[in-house]
Structure 1
């Protein structure tokens, strides 16, 4: 009887241990599922709010879309890129040892000059490999953003509009106003020429072109024309951009 009781006790004890182990495993599994769900939600939130995501292969993806917002908030109906979101992300990217490169996707109409240049300067100063891809378009202040990376691509149907500096609102018709416009334009031209193969003289010619835009000065460059003018390195798509970025990361 004692032996039978001892055997039954051992069996019961073993079953109890198995049950506890299964419960613990179930809790751990549920916990892992919750963590994975939270991580996925965090990624989705980053895409919604910042147009940015950290990819599995240690490449950070950043999008510049719509209008680049300045110090004033644009209407809620306007798609915008906010510099107060982008600048901290770029700083984090530079300092994060887990990030090895940046892929910049552009489809922007331009926007605030100061904010656009701030983002462009930030990207240009990143020590890690960076590649940009112009999709629908990268107009106005989007041009410095497109050339701010180490290497740039544009899709065959992508466009870039180069035009003089514009200002909305009240403008005082005096020489200091013109000088201010000229200074701002020189900053943009100098940045573009420094980070591309286009010369300052040629950029000013494209800006002052009167034969393309019916109601404005400027030039529209489509696909390979941007490459021929020396603004963009190559015509290509997303696979080309990833391939180039991986090559640059491996060489570093």
Structure 2
């Protein structure tokens, strides 16, 4: 009896450990196996954030995504987003990995998908947003020393072009619309850009659908079943 209890306790601890360390878990049901990845707080790049900041570390997420793609057990990926943004290159790197996965992927924006969280939200094959969730779209900003020479501004333009190309390639929003939202003045205090909410994000074509957890999971399971049967995914 004690051995059974110890065995059950070890299984619980093994299931909880990935959630504690990387904010991810694997759900196994009769319909398929789904890996759940949470991207929360600030995306941490090449510099460490203070221990008091909630962060998602790209060096944890990238190999985890490779594992999900290669795993014969995992059928699909659900990405839960509530992020303020963070390191541009780290965020774009994660977004590119998700976009290049062959397995069914669904993203769900909860609370906020701000700044570099926008490319992360659209990187999945299907994207959902909660009605109360918000997304902030603004130009690229750099911390630290900025040298006021033409090369710096050209670098800014090239980074913004990378983000523009990725977002428009992985969503239905028009390039002109996204650029206008990015450069809009008068909406953000002491900043340039726009804040859009659930229904507006869908109307603009940035996000596919309004929905919650059950909607995102239902969509993911449908995609998994279609992939297993070899059918083309529904739009």
What SS class does the counterpart of residue 55 from structure 1 fall into?
strand
Structure 2 residue aligned with 1:170: 145
Q: Distance between the aligned counterparts of 1:39 and 1:187, measured in 2?
A: 44
Name the TM-score, length of structure 1 as normaliser. Answer: 0.87
Structural mapping, 1:87-236, within 5 Å:
87-236=62-211
Per the TM alignment, residue 45 of structure 1 is displaced from its structure 2 partner at its CA by 1.6
Q: Distance in 2 between matches of 1:55 and 1:35?
A: 20
Structure 1 unpaired stretches of 5+: 1-25
**Residue number in structure 2 paired with 1:80:** 55
Residue 35 of structure 2 is aligned to residue 56 of structure 1? no
Structure whose alpha-carbon radius of gyration is higher: 1
Deviation per CA, 1:149-173: give whole Å up to 9, x if none.
0101000000000000000111000
Runs of 4+ with deviation above 6 angstroms: none
Q: Which runs of 5+ in 2 are unaligned?
A: 228-235
Offset, 1:56 = 1.6
1:49-91 deviation digits (Å, cap 9, x = unpaired):
1010011231000000000001110000000000011011101
1:19 maps to what in 2?
none
Q: Matched residue pairs, number?
A: 224
RMSD value, Cα = 1.1
Find the counterpart in structure 2 of residue 250 from structure 1: 225
The DSSP-based 3-state class of the residue aligned with 2:171 is coil
* Alpha-carbon distance between aligned partners in 1 of 2:19 and 2:75, rounded to the nearest angstrom: 19
* Aligned position for 1:10: none
Q: 2:88 and 2:151 mapped to 1: Cα distance?
A: 19
Q: Offset of 1:114 from its aligned partner? A: 0.4
Higher deviation after alignment, 38-47 or 164-173: 38-47
Other structure's SS at 2:28 match: coil
